[in-house]
Structure 1
C-alpha cells in the first residue's frame, strides 16, 4: 500500500442527521489524520437545518475537507431538468479539475457521476433494499457494512463476491473517555434520576423502524419490582415534533412516566456515560453506530437481532440480543441484568474492550485504504 497522500472525492447527496453523514465525517477524519486530501461534493445541508447538521458541515471544514455544493433541483419538471443538467455538469467539472486518485460515492445514488466519467469508483451500501435505477451504476468495488448488506449487494446489484468487501463502521474514541463523576451526578440530578437507580437508555430517531413502540411496551411489561430499580431515558427527536409527541403519548398511555425521561436529541456522549444499559430495539437496521458508541462508552448493550446484530454483539458475552418485535424478550433481558449487576458489568466491560479493538476509526480507515488500492484511477 502506498504511503503517499491520496486525493479522494467523496460524493454525498446531503449533509443530514443520518448514519451516512456520521460515517462520512468519521472516515474523512481517519483519512485526513493520515495526510490524505478530500474533496466533498454534496447537495449541502438538508432542509431540516438544525444545530447538528450545521455542526457536521463545520466539522468537514475544520478537517481541511474542500466542500463543493451542487444545487438540488427545485420547481417544475422543466426547471428541475435544467438545474439537474447544470449540477451534473459542475460535478463532472470539479472532479476533472481535482484529478483524484479515488472516487468514493457515500451515496449510492450518486454513482452515476463517476460512471459518466468512465472512472473506477467504490460505494458504501449503508442501507439494505436500495433499488437499482438510472442513478445507480454498478461500482468497481462495493463496500458492505455487514454480512447482510454484502448478501443484499450481491443479490440486488448483480455483482460477484470478489467485488464486495465488508468494512464495519468505526466510531470516535472520544466515547471511551467518560465525563467526570461530578458531571455524571450533575446530569443525573438535572434529569431527576435518583442515585440508586440503574440507568437504562436509548438514543435514536423516534419511529416504528427504530422500534420506539417496542421499547415502551417492554417497559410497560416489567414487574413492579424492576420498575422501581431502574430509570429509563429516551434521547431522540425534536422537541414538540410529531414523533416527539407520539412518544410522549405512548409513555402516558403505558403509565411509565414515573421512571422515564424524554430528551430531545443532542450530543449523546454524556448520556452514554450515565447509562448502565443501552437498548436498541429496531425493526430494521444496517450497522447502527449508536450501539458501537454505547459499547465504547462502557454501557451494557441490548439490541434486537436484526441486521448487523451478530457482528456487533456476541449474545451473552458482550451484550444481549432479543428477537426482533418480541417486546417480552426485551423485558426479560432488562430483568435479567437489573437482577444481576455483576453480569451487567461484565458484559459492559467486554463490550468496551471489543469496541476499542474492532470498531474504531483507525481500523475502518486502514481497511478502506485497502479497497482504494484496488480502485485507484491513477497512482499517487
Structure 2
C-alpha cells in the first residue's frame, strides 16, 4: 500500500504506453526534415506546450529537465549577474535542500549575504509574511521558499509572499512546488511568482521536472546555452538539451488525466484521508507529536503527515510497521535536513515518520494503517 507518494507517485498506464510508443515508433533526433523526425519533434513540442498550458504560462516561459534540483542549479547559474556582492538572498529554512543548496552556493560565489527565513514555532513552522517583511531590504535580490513542505504538508500562501517580495524593486521569488503539485491546480500567473518548479514523477507522470520563469524574470538571467542560440525562450536559456524526449512526449497524458480529475473533489477526499490519521494521533497526545498543522483542513495542508513517537526512533516505528504489514511509509528528514534539525530540533538522520497520501489512496487503507501503528506502539 503506497504511503510514500511524496517521494514519487505511481505512474499512469497511459504514460507508460506513451513512452513505449515513442521509443518504438519515433525514437530519432529532433529537428530533421524527414517524416519520422517531424513526428518526433511534434510529440516533443506537444509535451512542452502541455507543461506551459498546465501551469498557465506561455511555451517560452517553461523548460523541462531531469529534476527540480537540477533545474534550480541551472537557474542559480543563470542568475549569477543578477546577484552582486552587496546583494542579499533570503532563503527559507522550511525547504527541501533542492531549493537551498544552489542559493547558498551562489551567495558564496558572489560573496553576498544570506538571510535565513525561519519560524519561531517549532512544532508547526510556517512561512509568515510579517516575518518576511522584516527581512526584506533594498538589497534583497532573491527570495526562495516552498509552496508546501515535504515534511509538514502546510500550504504556504505564495501569492501573498510574491506580493510582499515584489515591494522591493528588482527582487525575485523562486518557489519549490514539488510537494504541492500532486494535490492542487497550478496557476503561476495568478500567483505572480517569478520562478516555479516541480517534478512530474510526483504527479503521476515520468521522472522529469519543469521550471517556469516569467518573461520579465528572464531579463535578469544570462544564458547557459550556445552562443548561436537565441535568448527568446527559457529552453534556450537553461535547457542544455537535458529534456528526455520520450518522457517529455508523455506529459500530455498526465495533463489529460488531471483535466478529468476535479481538484476540488481531490481536496475533499484527501482531507478525509488525513483526518483519520491526524485524529488518531491527536487522541494520544502523550504518545505522538504531529509536526505541522495538527488538524485536517484542506485549506491549510495537503495529506503529507509527519509525526514522531515519544521514546521511540522513527526508524524503529517504520521497521515494525513493515515487519507486520505491506504499508509503505518512510522515516527520515527527506532532504529537509535544515528544517528537521535547525527549526524542529530533531535528529536530522532519524527525522520523522512520514505518511504521504494522494487521491488514489482510500479511507480503508489509512484505517488499516492506524490499526497497525497502534499495535506497533502499544506497550
TM over 0.5: no
Give the alignment's TM-score, normalised by structure 1: 0.28
Give the alignment's TM-score, normalised by structure 2: 0.28
Higher helix share: 1
Q: Which has the higher contact order (CA 8 A, sep 6+)?
A: 2
